[in-house]
């Protein structure tokens, strides 16, 4: 859903790296694109979720076939299965040098020359923005009529002339891609391909006779319900209309993301989902609705979409749980943000400022998720502005950081053509289910991403073999450790991955000798590590089953990590697990281990596996044939390509070590497995033995004894605090008595020695100042807390009239101490690094006050 183009999953087929399983295809792809999120609601066509229809040819038909098929579908009558567009309303563009496409449109289709326009790379050449396949395209546009803009075709106006379908003639390999228009064509692809894309939402709003995509039958019901909840009418106010459209779009997009297994988070796809949901909440807020509305809006959206996506209804409990929890969480943050904003606005008024600082608005936005729209609205109600220029500058810097991060993360569509010749030799056979060693030969070596004939001692390289026993990281299970050995060389395996479908690549360090193409090689799995890793993987399946036994079917896996001796398991659940529940899950898991359940694996079709009740997990890609792993029969039945134990008893022991939140309605359990679990329990037992011995308390009464000691300690701490407070009170008269004239001002400037905290110094300063309130007095005290000097200075009103400012005096004193500080004119605080400089700091204060 998050790919920059529908072609991305097909890149291995388009480039010929992986043989296509079919020569033609047609699809409808769910897509999320937020590049133009700020335009949502403002235009007729921008949406964050859309359904992209397309057809593909992998070396089969080319330009004439694609153009003919497109024209037939668009212009055939609905009775004949077409879309029924009138030919006179359709225009096309072609790449500026593509005479062949222009000729097909004129000669084969019969389109008048005046409705065929030539355009450059920016408009009529398509690629992903990364090195790889690309090609010129031909786009088909619908003329919406004079009411929507000037004539002259899509070259003049792309609002009146709306793009319907893009036909990409994918035929060239690109390198040095710097922008949409700045790239280098390095040659032809091994075959000529077709990639087309037509948005269902655009077709729908044109065919349904509405004004924009937000008013089509799959989106409009949400807009109407938002109108009812807000009491405002759609069509009455332009600003409100934009908000209604944002809500309708974002609610549907969020629901489809949740349906696909995405959960709210602070990074990656989870952040995209969170941002969409918060923008919807914000828009409802700006429409005057402050209470939760997702139970209403999401339900309406489900009913509008479920005919096409029945999984929305069958998986509604999970989808709605996440949605409602995220809205509740954000509403609480909005409440907290409002409190912080109110405080900031009061301070701005107190200082006579007419606006809120841009840094404060950005802090509210970035830390609390508080939308700038609401900040502007609330500040306006308080009669204040917001430094929008400063806010926008901070936002710009953040976007630049995000873009730089995004550029560094574009590995998902990196050029994989380097693997073409290796993949052309066939799929890598994984023999590691049954064997730990296997003889093979080296068919490929890459160093720094480039093919080489050999690699020598000390180099890091990728090694390609036709068969291997080393497991490539997938399904939450980390890659095997091991070696690859041959005559005169030994390679330490540091990673195993699948860079393209069907191909396994071993990243190795050449430990000794040198390895070359064609060398005989034997893969050797680190047996001890494999056994511990597969025990953790099987234990993950048991924990999943135990969670579902305990919590019900709503506890579904959302991610996992399995390595030797350790497992991490994320699952959908809306609240923390009680100690009793965690103990029950642990007990069920270990009971299954003790029952020595059989572990069976079967290969079958995906449909057969689902019919048998096997769980397909989000984040995994499954082919037509899948591997099903049963532990204890149907009790634990999952689609899984990982390695596993033969019987559950081989796992040994599972000890849950933690349970925590990883997002709204998402929890994580962690556990140690096998010998690692035993060592952890043995360590805890030693700690218990030491405590029972030290406290002279039986083990079964240890918890009560520790609670008793803790209560006694708290009582003692309170008594100590009371004694220290009393002691502080007793020092106040002594400090006041030490007051001496410094010019026209009475000054108390004393070193206190060691103090408990800065609060102690602050208390003494404020109380001594109260005793001197009738005089022009300055109280400056310096104590040492945690081996560092702390300065607090207070001034009376008459002292301030004479020019004494506490903030300025603190900066003077802390400068002498090697630190800094500040505050208000009446009370300020700071700290330093050098306690030996306290006498110098006091002397500087004496001179400064005397000079006033």
Ligand-binding site membership of 640 (annotated)? yes
User: What dihedral angle (degrees, nearest 10) is formed by the CA atoms of 48, 53, 57, 63?
Assistant: -90
CB 547 within 8 A of CB 560: no
Q: Report the alpha-carbon distance of residue 481 to residue 492 in Å, rounded.
A: 8
- Kindly state the tokens that stand for 176: 């040095």
Q: Report the alpha-carbon distance of residue 348 to residue 356 in Å, rounded.
A: 6
Break the chain down into helix, strand, coil percent, rounded to 5: 45, 25, 30
Query: Would you tell me how many other CB atoms lie within 10 Å of the CB of residue 569?
Result: 24
CB 246 within 8 A of CB 280: yes
Ligand-binding site membership of 506 (annotated)? no
**DSSP assignment letter at 642:** S
| ∠ CA 277-282-286, rounded to 5° | 150
DSSP β-bridge partners for residue 467: 429
Q: What is the DSSP annotation of 105-158?
A: IIIII---GGGEEEE-HHHHEEE-SSSEEEEEEEEEEEE--GGGS-SS-TTT-T
Beta-strand relationship, 429-430 and 385-386: unpaired
Q: Report the alpha-carbon distance of residue 420 to residue 129 in Å, rounded.
A: 20
Ligand-binding site membership of 250 (annotated)? no
First and final CA of the chain: distance in angstroms? 70
The CB-based long-range contact list for 309-318 (8 Å cut-off, 24+ gap) reads 309/256, 309/259, 311/259, 312/255, 312/259, 315/259, 317/554, 318/258, 318/554, 318/556, 318/572
Q: Report the alpha-carbon distance of residue 431 to residue 438 in Å, rounded.
A: 8
Q: Report the alpha-carbon distance of residue 809 to residue 850 in Å, rounded.
A: 12
| Cβ-proximal residues to 835 (8 Å cutoff; 6+ apart), any chain | 784, 787, 788, 789, 817
Ligand-binding site membership of 544 (annotated)? no
Identify the helix (H) or strand (E) that includes residue 684: helix 675-695
Count the helices and strands in the chain (H runs, E runs): 24, 34
What strands lie across the sheet with 654-661, from one edge to the other?
557-563, 566-572, 666-673, 654-661
User: Residue positions in the annotated binding site for Zn(2+)?
Assistant: 537, 541, 640, 644
């Amino acid at each position: 859903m998050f790919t920059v183009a529908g072609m991305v999953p097909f890149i291995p087929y388009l480039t010929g790296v992986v043989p296509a399983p079919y020569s033609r295809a047609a699809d409808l792809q769910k897509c999320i694109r937020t590049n133009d999120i700020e335009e949502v609601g403002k235009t007729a066509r921008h949406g964050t979720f859309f359904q992209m229809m397309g057809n593909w040819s992998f070396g089969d038909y080319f330009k004439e076939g694609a153009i003919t098929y497109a024209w037939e579908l668009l212009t055939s009558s609905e009775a004949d299965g077409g879309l029924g567009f009138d030919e006179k309303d359709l225009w096309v563009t072609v790449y500026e040098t593509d005479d062949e496409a222009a000729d097909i449109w004129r000669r084969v289709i019969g389109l008048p020359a005046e409705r065929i326009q030539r355009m450059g790379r920016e408009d009529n050449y398509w690629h992903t923005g990364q090195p790889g396949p690309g090609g010129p395209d031909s786009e088909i546009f619908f003329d919406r009529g004079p009411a929507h803009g000037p004539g002259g075709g899509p070259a003049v106006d792309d609002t009146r002339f709306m793009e319907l379908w893009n036909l990409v003639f994918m035929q060239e390999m690109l390198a040095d891609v710097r922008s949409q228009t700045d790239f280098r064509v390095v040659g032809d692809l091994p075959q000529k391909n077709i990639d087309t894309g037509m948005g269902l939402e655009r077709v729908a709003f044109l065919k349904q006779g509405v004004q924009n995509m937000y008013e089509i039958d799959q989106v409009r019901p949400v807009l109407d319900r938002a109108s009812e909840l807000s009491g405002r009418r759609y069509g009455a106010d332009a600003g409100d209309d934009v908000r209604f459209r944002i809500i309708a779009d974002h609610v549907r997009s969020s629901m489809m993301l949740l349906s696909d297994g995405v959960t709210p988070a602070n990074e990656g796809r989870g952040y995209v989902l969170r941002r969409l949901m918060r923008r919807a909440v914000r828009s409802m807020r700006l429409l005057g609705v402050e209470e939760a509305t997702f139970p209403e809006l999401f339900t309406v959206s489900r009913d509008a979409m479920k005919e096409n996506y029945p999984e929305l209804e069958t998986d509604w409990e999970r989808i709605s749980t996440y949605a409602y929890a995220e809205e509740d969480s954000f509403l609480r943050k909005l409440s907290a943000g409002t409190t912080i904003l109110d405080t900031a606005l009061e301070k701005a008024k107190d200082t006579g400022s007419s606006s809120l600082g841009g840094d404060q608005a950005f802090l509210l936005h970035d830390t609390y998720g508080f939308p700038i729209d609401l900040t502007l609205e609330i500040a306006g109600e308080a009669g204040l502005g917001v430094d929008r220029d400063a806010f926008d500058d901070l936002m710009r810097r953040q976007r630049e950081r995000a873009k730089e991060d995004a550029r560094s993360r574009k590995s998902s569509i990196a050029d994989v053509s380097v693997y073409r010749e290796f993949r052309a030799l066939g799929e890598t056979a994984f023999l590691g289910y049954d064997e730990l060693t296997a003889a093979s030969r080296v068919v490929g070596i890459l160093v720094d991403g480039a093919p080489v004939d050999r690699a020598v001692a000390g180099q890091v390289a990728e090694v390609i073999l036709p068969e291997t026993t080393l497991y490539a990281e997938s399904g939450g299970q980390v890659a095997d450790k091991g070696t690859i050995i041959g005559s005169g060389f030994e390679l330490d395996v540091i990673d195993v991955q699948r860079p393209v479908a069907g191909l396994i690549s071993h990243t190795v360090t050449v430990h000794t000798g040198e390895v070359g193409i064609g060398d005989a090689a034997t893969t050797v799995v680190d047996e001890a590590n494999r056994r511990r890793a597969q025990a953790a993987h099987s234990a993950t399946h048991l924990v999943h089953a135990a969670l579902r036994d305990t919590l019900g079917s709503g506890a579904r896996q959302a991610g996992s990590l399995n390595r030797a001796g350790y497992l991490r398991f994320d699952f959908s659940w809306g609240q923390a697990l009680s100690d009793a529940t965690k103990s029950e899950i642990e007990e069920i898991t270990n009971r299954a281990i003790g029952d020595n359940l059989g572990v069976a694996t079967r290969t079958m079709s995906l449909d057969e596996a689902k019919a048998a009740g096997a769980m397909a997990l989000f984040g995994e890609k499954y082919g037509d044939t899948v591997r099903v792993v049963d532990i204890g029969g149907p009790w634990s039945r999952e689609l899984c390509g990982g390695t596993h134990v033969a019987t559950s008893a081989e796992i040994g022991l599972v000890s849950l070590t933690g349970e925590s939140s990883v997002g709204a309605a998402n929890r994580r359990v962690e556990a140690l497995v096998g010998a690692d679990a035993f060592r952890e329990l043995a360590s805890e037992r030693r700690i218990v033995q030491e405590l029972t011995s030290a406290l002279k308390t039986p083990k079964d009464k240890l918890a009560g004894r520790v609670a008793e000691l803790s209560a006694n300690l708290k009582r003692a701490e309170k008594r100590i605090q009371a004694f220290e407070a009393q002691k502080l009170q007793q020092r106040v008269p002594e400090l006041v008595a030490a007051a001496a004239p410094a010019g026209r001002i009475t000054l108390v400037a004393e070193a206190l020695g060691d103090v408990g905290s800065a609060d102690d110094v602050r208390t003494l300063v404020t109380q001594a100042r109260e005793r001197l309130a009738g005089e022009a007095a300055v109280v400056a005290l310096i104590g040492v807390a945690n081996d560092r000097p702390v300065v607090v200075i207070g001034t009376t009103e008459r002292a301030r009239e004479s020019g004494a400012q506490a903030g300025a005096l603190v900066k003077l004193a802390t400068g002498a101490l090697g630190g800094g500080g500040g505050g208000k004119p009446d009370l300020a605080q700071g700290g330093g690094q050098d306690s030996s400089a306290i006498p110098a700091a006091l002397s500087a204060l004496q001179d400064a006050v005397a000079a006033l």
